[in-house]
A and B are shown apart, each in its own frame.
Chain A
Amino acid sequence: MQRDVVGINFRNHVLVHENNPGKHHFLANDKAVCKTVLHKHHIPTPETYALVRGMNDIPKALKAIRDKEAVAIKPASGSGGSGILILKNEGDGTWSKPSGKILNERHLTWHLANILYGMFSKGESDQAIIEYCLKPHPFFENIYSQGVPDFRIIMLGDQRVMAMLRMPTAESDGKANLHAGAIGIGVDLETGELKTGFDGKQRLNRHPDSAVRFAGLILPEWEKTLRVAQETARLFPLAYLGIDIVFDAVFGPMVIEINIRPGISIQNVNREGLKAAIGRLEEEKSEKKKRWQ
């Protein structure tokens, strides 16, 4: 196992430390910067309606979103989904949360101010991003109707190493967080086919709540997804990345986040160690080289 599986020590000291220089970490950690780069190079990512840098940007931002159907408000430096507000426009300057609660523009101002003053970024002042609110692709609603699933692909340089789909469950309360109870489903890198799922205790071929069988289904727009991932990886001077992609009903695969320290549970989901997967990549590269000679 030592040969094939990557533990936290190896990930931190070899994969992250040697591939992701510290001075470039902000390109991934600051979502505002990351989105700017992605927008500039036309990588599909939710449209940024407003970037709130200071209190005096708030009125302008609120005006800009008044005619939008739905928005997502996120802290630029937030982690783990804290501080994210999903809002549907109810008209007359009011918005509703998925829970049904109604908020007006004062509430939004208050939440934006909290983000600016660092409530979700450990006290450090931060920026707020207001962006297009993703609508999950029907492919996923057919498997399970709640929450937004999230596709994670690990890239080494511009080579794909491993990928998984994180499906929310009732247990995870609609969140695509493995630790909260979502299931991880391995994805075949060649075909985009869903393999078996893993919920931390056992392997599954069906969603535990809807009982829909997902093993064997193929992700929508797979070729485009791979291309998006590869172009994203090429854009950043960070060679070991976990790219998070969500499939929107209208726009297809969109990059929502890049991680410089992607988790290692993906190995359990795909039943393969990262070292083994990287080793295979090296082999394929040298095979190709041999063929050209």
Chain B
Amino acid sequence: MKKRIYRHFLALLFLIPLAMMAFKVRFLNYSLERTLSHTSYQIRLNYRFTEAADSAWLRIALPTSEERQTIRSEANQSSGYDLLIQRGKTGRYATWSGPAGANEALAYSFEFIGYANRYNLDSNLTVPDLVPESLNDFLRTYPVEALPEVEDNRLVPLLGSYFEAARDTQDAVLQFVNWVRHAGLPARFAGGFNLEQGEHEYRNWAEVMINNTWIPFDPAFGHFAQIPAGYMKINNSAFPEARHHGNRPFENWVEVKQRTTINPQLLAELPVLDYNAFAVWAAFEQAGIPIDILKVILLLPLGALVVVLFRNVIGISTFGIFLPALIAMASRETGLGYGIVAFLLVIGVVSLIYVPLERWGMLSVPKITIMLVSVVSIFILVSVLGVKAGLPNLAYIALFPIVVVTVSAERFAKTLTQDGFATAFKLTLQTLLVAAAAFTVMSSSTVESLFLTFPELFLIIIGLNLILGRWVGLRFTELFRFNWIVR
């Protein structure tokens, strides 16, 4: 009777998620691409006059929402100034005016979400003979000595030749735009920065009018008829247009905060349902809890599955059963490299302290307490020294689940004294190996998106854990261990 109930339970663990997933894909139009979590950037443009004056005005260019970028949650972060936002020929502009003391700061914040775009250009297109008058501005050239050589003067190969030639020049975008205009194609500058690459300085790329669409080109970075998601376009001019009255000096800087959010395009299309991943997600967002916590909850069973696989099927033993999954989890904050460093650091500290404490004959609980305090102290020390030495990432090891690692490190020390260094070292390597495997699985963005889209998958993970937990075959390493029987 128990076995039948178990079998039915197991079947449900697989069928329910599959049914839910099928339903979502078929009737709610879910698909992996369309529900990929998206990066959004919280941006704050800052300006500060460094000298006092009677009055001041400042004009800056603001990015605008278009098909491939969404600008929202805009806010003026400065008070005591009048702010006027206008549309101009080349973009949107914000103008502040008012009295200005020295060190008065002006700021504007907004959220940017960008999408990558890739255009397939028909290679048979030709350069048009006639260009509408409205585009005359975009044909203005300055003189050149010679245009780059072009073998095939159809539109796409021509652009290709100019693109490649421009890449070798000092001011690639400028050259490209100029040559393209010489060839009779309207071209204009686009300006902004690539947030994905952490750029904060305004720079330009190009747009060429082809078949009534402005197609992006960035010869400086090799993007031909395509634009990456992280490019935030601010305006269509060669200048960011931050102008100030009387040429008074000012400072400007940009603050950027990255976060993961739901693809807004998809959110707009979804019907409102009570039980879907996004309702959960939205609830977390509303409560101000970072999405990362939800990810941890969903992905930890997967990490545990990896550990079970390595232990029960392959036969690689580790310190503690969940420790590798927890190391992997903590490494998501610090990066796997620092995760391993932190773990080894804890083990080293604990071993140094364990040996004398053991000789003294200390009882377990006070022993662990002393080691815990030492580990915490070392972590703080390393974090502080790391920041001072210019390695701020080292501070991330403080995010490690210290208590768990300390307890397992105590076990390492025990193995060290009882079974010798070789055994303890081997177990450490095995633990780190499994942790790295768990990390690879858990940090894959495809896996992440999969689980955020279909959180019911974690029922399947539980089912797999159940099956593996009862599997009684020989472990892979045992095939070697018991080779002696047949020899």
Contact = CB atoms under 8 A, between A and B. Distances in A.
B487 to A, nearest CB: 8
Interface stretch (A3-11, A28-36, A50-58, A70-78): A3-11
A10 B361 CA distance: 38
Given A9-B474, A9-B475, 19 more contacts: A1-B474, A5-B485, A7-B315, A7-B475, A7-B478, A8-B315, A9-B312, A9-B471, A9-B473, A10-B472, A82-B418, A110-B361, A114-B361, A114-B363, A117-B363, A119-B363, A119-B364, A268-B485, A273-B482
B27 interface: no
Given A7-B474, A7-B475, A1 B363 contact: no
Interface-centre pick from A7, A80, A119 (highest chain B CB count, 10 A): A7
Contacts of B361: 110, 114, 119
Closest 7 CB pairs of A and B: A123-B364, A7-B474, A10-B472, A7-B478, A268-B484, A9-B472, A5-B482
23 contacts: A1-B474, A1-B485, A1-B486, A5-B474, A5-B478, A7-B475, A7-B482, A8-B315, A8-B475, A9-B471, A10-B473, A10-B474, A80-B418, A110-B361, A119-B364, A123-B363, A123-B364, A123-B365, A179-B419, A198-B484, A271-B484, A272-B485, A273-B482
A2 B484 contact: no
Interface residues of B, number: 21
B3 interface: no
Interface in A1-30: 1-2, 4-5, 7-10, 13-14
Interface string B355-381: 000000101110000000000000000
Interface string A253-272: 00000000000000110011
Nearest to A14: B472
Contacts of B2: none
Contacts of A273: 482, 485
Interface string B448-487: 0000000000000000000000111111001101101110
B481 A268 contact: yes
Q: Is the interface of A mostly helix, strand, loop or mixed?
A: loop
B416 to A, nearest CB: 14
A268 B482 contact: yes
Contact of B485 (A118, A179, A271): A271
B482 A1 contact: yes
A122 interface: yes
B364 A118 contact: yes
How big is the A interface, by class? 20 to 34
B448 to A, nearest CB: 31
A277 to B, nearest CB: 11
Interface in A199-252: none
Contacts of A117: 363
Contact of A7 (B364, B470, B473): B473
B129 to A, nearest CB: 78
A1 B418 CA distance: 32
Nearest to A82: B418
Nearest to A15: B472
Nearest to B361: A114
A263 to B, nearest CB: 12
B363 A118 contact: yes
Nearest to A2: B474
Interface in A135-163: none
A9 B309 CA distance: 12
A257 B304 CA distance: 35
A179 B418 CA distance: 11
B304 to A, nearest CB: 17
Nearest to B477: A7
